[in-house]
Structures are given as structure tokens and as C-alpha cells.
């Protein structure tokens, strides 16, 4: 169990900002004007719609938190080094929703077809989880990218 003093949580603030940026970068939001917010990209590439993150918990000993890449996998949750290497789990996530002290994340997995022509390093999975933000001691933001299937 994690205990932090009451008050503002900087990690929650960061995740909230990422969530807003991602929502505004979505083509479904109906904003087609010149001042459309985006995470990155430009005229020669797809506009980025995701800022992938890694979460480090209070007791992770420097190993990122990981979750299964499929709803059907149960034994892949871990904060061990084996989970980072396992193809059945991932430590890279997309913020989907922030509500109070809870954040819902989508598990992202490496794109097996990632090459110079395909600039999408991750694929969105059907695996989601809710996390108590107070249990995060650090969040690592990865490079903005475009993720299919979100």
C-alpha cells in the first residue's frame, strides 16, 4: 500500500495533461482548424495520437510496472525483469482516463512490423487496467507516436 501526503500529486497532473493532449489529437474530436492541438507530427507524417508512458511503483526497485498484453493472460503481471522480456506482457501504456486518484491505461505492445516505412512503434491491445496514481513514484514519457486501434 502506498502512502503519500494529501494534496497535489504531480504524477496525476502529468497524466491528466497527457490524457487531454491525446484526446485533442484524436481525429474523432471534430477539430479541423489550424490551431488543432497535437502531440507531434507534421505535414509529412501522421499526427501523433499517443504519448506512451512507463510507470514505476513505490516498491519496483527500478523495474517498470508491467501488465498482460491480452485479457486472456493472467500470469504476466509482474514488476520483475522477466516480465519486461516476456512477449505476453508490456511495460508501455497509453493513458485512457483519469478519475480522481485512479488512472485507466491501455497496454501497448511493440509493433512486430515496425520498420522504416511503418513509423508506429506500438500497437494498442485489448488489455486495460486501472491504477492508483498514489502508488506511482515515477512516470517515464516515451516519444510521441501514432498508435493504430485506439
Q: DSSP letter at 127?
A: E
pLDDT of residue 71: 74
Pull the grid cell for residue 54: 512507463
pLDDT of residue 118: 62
Q: Give pTM, 2 decimals.
A: 0.76
Domain-by-domain residue ranges, the chain? Answer: 10-27+38-141
pLDDT of residue 60: 80
By the 8 A CB rule, do 103 and 135 touch? Answer: no
Question: Model confidence over 39-84: pLDDT tens digits?
Answer: 665 555 567 889 999 999 988 888 999 999 987 654 444 444 444 4
pLDDT of residue 111: 87
By the 8 A CB rule, do 51 and 23 touch? Answer: no
Question: Model confidence over 85-116: pLDDT tens digits?
Answer: 456 899 999 999 999 999 999 999 998 877 75
Amino acid at each position: 500500500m502506498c502512502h503519500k501526503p494529501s494534496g497535489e500529486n504531480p504524477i496525476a497532473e502529468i497524466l491528466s495533461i497527457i490524457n487531454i493532449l491525446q484526446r485533442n489529437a484524436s481525429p474523432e474530436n471534430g477539430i479541423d482548424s489550424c490551431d488543432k492541438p497535437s502531440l507531434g507530427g507534421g505535414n509529412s507524417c501522421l499526427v501523433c495520437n499517443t504519448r506512451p508512458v512507463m510507470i514505476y511503483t513505490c516498491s519496483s526497485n527500478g523495474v517498470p510496472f508491467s501488465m498482460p498484453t491480452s485479457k486472456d493472460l493472467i500470469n504476466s503481471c509482474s514488476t520483475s525483469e522477466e516480465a519486461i522480456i516476456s512477449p505476453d506482457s508490456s511495460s508501455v501504456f497509453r493513458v485512457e482516463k483519469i478519475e480522481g486518484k485512479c488512472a485507466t491505461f491501455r497496454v501497448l505492445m511493440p509493433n512486430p512490423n515496425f520498420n522504416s516505412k511503418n513509423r508506429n512503434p506500438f500497437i494498442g491491445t485489448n488489455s486495460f487496467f486501472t491504477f492508483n496514481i498514489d502508488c506511482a513514484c515515477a512516470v517515464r514519457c516515451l516519444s510521441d507516436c501514432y498508435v493504430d486501434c485506439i
